[in-house]
Chain A
């Protein structure tokens, strides 16, 4: 209960910072009207957008609207900002979950290999690769991927979502071949950083678990190495890896703004970057509120889960 009050307070503070800050920069009317508009027209548009009122009044209207689920209309699209964001939410989620899937699919086997044979050439190359994965700026990797796979080799398309299929009214790319080809590069790009994280977590987990008594017992039972690794070790490393990745979901969504801009993926991240450049204030505010709210919810869920898990955490040292 105390946590949710704190969360509400955090959301309120962010809304205030964002609102005051965003409304302090530039005059969007100048960007919206044609250069030869008369002062009369400028005044009329300012009035229509409600920009002639004092800032506290604009903020008050914004808060009242926000509590009713209305975050204002986009200056450019002239549609409710919140529905523009929600329209693009599935594309961003699709990209984020695909990236996470790729990170797990590639990261766990590589981490397992590096953990089982830490001193082999392959093991050390995997670790060096994961350091590189941490160092490489995401946007530059995206450019290089486009350069190699789209421009030089011409294997995969560089922009857009391709064919989508409607599932319960949500359009998805991953269900068509064309869509899969379109999502491959952006998902790989977004996955790279998390892949490095998964490799390191898995490797550390494997090295620790291989020393455990139950692994020795499993071997003493005469189980094959294959069964020991895939049943006994895997079961125990998946828990921390999945927990950490769940925590990282929010950061994947935040970083997808970069990937979406590069690959022209029509998600909400691209929407907000474009909005910042054309000073479409309601979109910026609505995006930040939605993402911050998502973060607060994720953090809250994790906190709750930890308190549920807590007794076991406290029991472990006593059992050991």
Chain B
């Protein structure tokens, strides 16, 4: 066993091997929609697109919760802001049709401003109090979206906004099939590559932030805010920056969602969505980018895969005993509980958290507890 792990370590540090892995991964990602489309059908390519949207959302929330340790339960509100910004400025609703390159930065910017608006009054709050205030904020945004159709019709209320312009670069609309080199690309595939590119950009930004001065400041605030302030970190600005960065990521994904879906309504932005995104990052491993991506992929694909429960029942019992759509969320909830019981730090925890959960974790906990006592 040891020789194998040693060889693995050697192999990991071999530059050429690392590049080979990256190239293989890139080729897999490039071919993924075609492979999925051929093996599982067009529906799964759509799920693939949604998976990438959720990866972007999870990466954004990871900055707020994973890096800076600010528990945000209203994160979906920023997604909603981005989506509605796009929808209202590019649909027959106001008869505005702004181009895509203007819409995305606008949505991201507005979401960022909302992030600061939420962050500023909550700077004094910690832990669960922050959680409940952000939750309230998310609900307020959703209720306003739901009701701002009277007396002046702004959001079109519960019916939502329809016929949103698809994402288009000049005359190149992503919703229509295109032909390149004799290969036909349906719209879903084009969206996949756009989402993939933006998700990779966000991964890059997250990775670069992680080890930057700002990233270390976030971690310091997460671990001990008072100590961080004593070290000369401007906690107010750094916390607001975390909120704004996370919200910007969500605003971009929201705009993409609106263009991709062509229709949005307030129902897409309820509390449950915020909770699911939080589950993604906690389940995958907070603060660790591969973990966050894994969590997002698992929690998007797994409920969809559970739709095959009907066929499974047919195969096992010869008939359908329970409606699979009723059963799948039940199993989803059970899976959440089981994964957390067996891997409380997440599936792929960050190095720091893995150390905290090492053999000396109990000693550490006792030390902290006694320190806490002397403070009082």
A pairs with B: no
